[in-house]
Amino acid sequence: MEWTVLPGLQPYPETLAAMEARVAAIARGEADEAVWLLEHPPLYTAGTSARAEDLTDPDRFPVFTAGRGGQYTYHGPGQRVAYVMLDLNQRGRDVRCFVHRLEDWVIRTLGEFNVTGERREGRVGVWVQRPEKAPYSGGLPREDKIAAIGVKLRRWVSFHGISINVEPDLAHFTGIVPCGIREHGVTSLVDLGLPVTMADLDVALRRQFDAVFGAATACGGGAVRASTHPTDAV
């Protein structure tokens, strides 16, 4: 497993091309699995289910077709993106299990900073409750999204991955309907009052990755989706 922290703000098209080349090399048995940790300049990406009406400010930032599952999402400074290139031929060809592991990874990582991340039925990603905000009209507590997940598989090697909001400009999310969900907001570790640095998060991500994706917790079972079909995770 190769871990790489890429410095500065990485241009999206070049990074995507490099990731696809690495995935192809892994599939051929010519390269090790890899996790790349990085930040992008402000941009929007469109997944395979993106709807034109959810891009509410198309001239604000560059918009790229991502090829992953899901809808529109934002990347920018202050958001840690982890591109995860794992060989599911060796880890079990179970896409649902793999996405579940990614969610576990994020939730366990957030837990190191005393943040309770949660899953929501029908809403891929990781959410936090906001009891300090006014509740919804039905009395349910407010909640915001703190991490997004979007993956694709090619020859059962994964690419794309997760993004966790550390300290991005949350106003940048207003140019899209993030992941097509209008009724909920977005948050970050700093927005929650936690002065977490990117380096702090990277240490936690590395530690929790080993706990979640170690051999003892590898996914098993058969395929649940076609190997070239992106998941609907955003």
Q: Which listed residue (23, 38, 106, 179) is catalytic?
A: 179
The answer as to whether 85 is a domain residue is yes
The answer as to whether 234 is a domain residue is no
User: What pLDDT, on a 0 to 100 scale, did the predictor assign at position 186?
Assistant: 94
User: What pLDDT, on a 0 to 100 scale, did the predictor assign at position 183?
Assistant: 65
The answer as to whether 71 is a domain residue is yes
Residue 118 belongs to what domain range?
2-214
SS (H, E, C) the chain: CEEEEEEEECCHHHHHHHHHHHHHHHHCCCCCCEEEEEECCCEEEECCCCCHHHECCCCCCCEEECCCCCCEEEECCCEEEEEEECEHHHHCCCHHHHHHHHHHHHHHHHHCCCCCCEEECCEEEEEEEECCCCCCCCCCCEEEEEEEEEEEEECCEEEEEEEEECCCCHHHHHHECHHHCCCCEECCCCCCCCCCCHHHHHHHHHHHHHHHHCHHHCCCCCCCCCCCCCCCCC
User: What pLDDT, on a 0 to 100 scale, did the predictor assign at position 182?
Assistant: 62
Is residue 97 among the annotated active site residues?
Answer: no
Tens digit of pLDDT at every position of the chain (234 positions): 999 999 999 999 999 999 999 999 999 999 999 999 999 999 999 988 888 999 999 999 999 999 887 889 999 999 999 999 999 999 999 999 999 999 999 999 999 999 999 998 877 789 999 988 888 777 788 899 999 999 999 999 999 999 999 999 999 999 998 755 666 789 999 999 999 999 999 999 999 999 999 854 555 543 333 333 334 333
Read off the pTM. 0.90
Count the domains in the chain: 1
User: What pLDDT, on a 0 to 100 scale, did the predictor assign at position 173?
Assistant: 94
Q: Where residue 198 sits, what CATH number does that domain have?
A: 3.30.930.10
User: What pLDDT, on a 0 to 100 scale, did the predictor assign at position 121?
Assistant: 81
The answer as to whether 54 is a domain residue is yes
Detail the residues annotated as belonging to a binding site. 68-75, 148-150, 161-163
The answer as to whether 229 is a domain residue is no
The answer as to whether 223 is a domain residue is no
The answer as to whether 207 is a domain residue is yes
Detail the residues annotated as belonging to a binding site for substrate. 68-75, 148-150, 161-163
The answer as to whether 89 is a domain residue is yes
**How far apart, in whole angstroms, are the C-alpha atoms of residue 197 and residue 200?**
5
